Amino acid sequence: MERTGAKRTLVHFRCTNPAHARPATLRSDTLTVVEGLWAYCPFDIRVGDHDWQPTGGVTMGELRGETV
């Protein structure tokens, strides 16, 4: 089984709230489950006020600009 948050983890939702478009200064959680699928927020999924938008299914590596 692949580790959660690995480069190949498939993400179906991304938070597009402009206030969440930056990395958190403290350790944060960036993955959660929305509608039974992985969702990513670059800031912190625990803060709330997310604007979840479908990604069409992209990898964590693609979201973070990493080579998969």
Write down the number of H helices and E strands in the chain. Answer: 1, 4
**How high is the pLDDT of residue 1?**
41
Dihedral, CA atoms, 4, 8, 12, 14, nearest 10 degrees? 80
Residue indicated by tokens 């992209």: 58
- Supply the pLDDT for residue 15: 94
pLDDT digits (tens, 9 = 90+) for 2-58: 456 678 889 999 999 999 988 777 777 889 999 999 999 989 988 889 999 999 999
Question: Using CA atoms in the order 14, 15, 21, 23, what is the torsion angle rounded to 10 degrees?
Answer: -80
| Residue-range domain boundaries for the chain | 10-63
